[in-house]
């Protein structure tokens, strides 16, 4: 497996994505919206709560941070679906497969083309969010809230894992459908469990503490590995040429 060859494919696909304005803008808009919208809410809560806000503000900040994980799961589905369905529509997989590139390299390239822009956007948005929140709550807490261990686990462990999970599901789904829309619909199911976790957290259940986040991360890591072996089997050139529709 040559990473350079996979990266060639990823770079090519990312360039194609940039020309799809809808995908490109949603990639920017969602993380930006989360940062601006939620930091604005935090300002409002902090300002209206006065000094007592320090006691309940962290709960809000942490809950809002979780949205970056949801973003990491939802953003790559369209890109990954286009990466596969687009090639099917243009019938460009056969020439691609006839180049000296292994199936694994193509699969990795496709995954990277969805993973890299998504995580780039999510991390950029979260840095903005952390900066804005710190700036806004400095007066309330008397110290910086971010960075902390929670957000580190969310952004560096959980977000990449759910992003990979979402990418893999999208690739598997796209292999079986012929249009991007149905790929998205199926792949949309992937972040349902995340929404459930989020809602549970909002209802005051202590589900999103550090230990639990790491456990959830561990579960996703296992799922990612299991899906990876399924994906490599699905992404087999003979399978692609003779069975994919």
User: Alpha helices of the chain — where are they, by DSSP H?
Assistant: 3-18, 21-49, 53-90, 93-97, 103-141, 149-152, 159-174, 180-188, 192-202, 210-234, 237-242
| Residue 211 interacts with another protein (CB under 8 A): yes or no | no
Give the three-state DSSP class for 21.
Answer: helix
Phi and psi at residue 144, to the nearest 5°: -75, 135
Distance CA 101, CA 13 (A): 15
Stretch binding another protein (CB under 8 A), from 130-138, 193-201, 217-225, 233-241: 233-241
Stretch binding another protein (CB under 8 A), from 2-10, 74-82, 114-122, 132-140: 2-10
Smallest distance from the beta carbon of 25 to another protein, in angstroms?
17
- Placement of tokens 């007066």 in the chain: 139
Q: Which is nearer to another protein, 54 or 93 (CB)?
A: 93
Residue from 45, 97, 207, 221 that binds another protein (CB under 8 A)?
97
| Residue 98 interacts with another protein (CB under 8 A): yes or no | yes
Distance CA 43, CA 179 (A): 42
Q: Which is nearer to another protein, 11 or 176 (CB)?
A: 11
| Residue 124 interacts with another protein (CB under 8 A): yes or no | no
C-alpha dist (Å) from residue 96 to 21, 104, 169, 212, 220: 25, 13, 22, 43, 31
Smallest distance from the beta carbon of 237 to another protein, in angstroms?
6
| Residue 3 interacts with another protein (CB under 8 A): yes or no | no
Stretch binding another protein (CB under 8 A), from 4-12, 77-85, 123-131, 144-152: 4-12
| Residue 12 interacts with another protein (CB under 8 A): yes or no | yes
Residue from 25, 44, 55, 92 that binds another protein (CB under 8 A)?
92
Length of the chain: 245
Distance CA 60, CA 204 (A): 11
| Residue 245 interacts with another protein (CB under 8 A): yes or no | no
| Residue 95 interacts with another protein (CB under 8 A): yes or no | yes
Stretch binding another protein (CB under 8 A), from 12-20, 31-39, 48-56, 166-174: 12-20
Instruction: Note the Cα 59 to chain centre separation in Å.
Output: 23
The footprint of another protein on this chain (CB under 8 A) covers a number of residues equal to 23
Distance CA 180, CA 192 (A): 19
Q: Which residues bind another protein (CB under 8 A)?
A: 5, 8-9, 12, 16, 19, 90-102, 237-238, 241-242
């Amino acid at each position: 497996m040559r990473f350079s060859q996979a990266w060639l494919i990823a770079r090519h696909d990312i360039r194609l994505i940039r020309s799809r304005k809808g995908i490109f803008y949603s990639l920017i808009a969602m993380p930006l919206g989360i940062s601006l919208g939620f930091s604005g809410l935090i300002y409002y809560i902090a300002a209206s709560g006065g000094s007592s806000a320090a006691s309940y503000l962290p709960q809000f900040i942490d809950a809002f941070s979780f949205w970056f994980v949801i973003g990491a799961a939802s953003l790559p589905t369209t890109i990954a679906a286009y990466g596969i369905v687009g090639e099917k529509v243009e019938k460009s997989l056969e020439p691609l497969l006839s180049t000296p590139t292994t199936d694994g390299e193509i699969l990795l390239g496709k995954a990277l083309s969805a993973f890299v822009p998504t995580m780039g956007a999510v991390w950029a948005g979260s840095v903005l969010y952390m900066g804005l929140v710190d700036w806004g709550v400095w007066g309330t807490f008397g110290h910086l809230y971010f960075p902390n261990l929670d957000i580190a686990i969310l952004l560096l462990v959980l977000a990449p894992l759910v992003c990979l999970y979402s990418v893999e599901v999208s690739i598997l789904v796209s292999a079986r459908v012929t249009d991007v829309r149905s790929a998205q619909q199926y792949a949309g199911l992937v972040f349902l469990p995340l929404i459930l976790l989020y809602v549970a957290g909002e209802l005051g259940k202590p589900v999103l503490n550090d230990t639990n986040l790491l456990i959830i991360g561990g579960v996703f890591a296992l799922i990612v590995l299991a899906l990876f072996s399924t994906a490599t089997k699905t992404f087999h050139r003979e399978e692609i040429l003779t069975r994919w529709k």
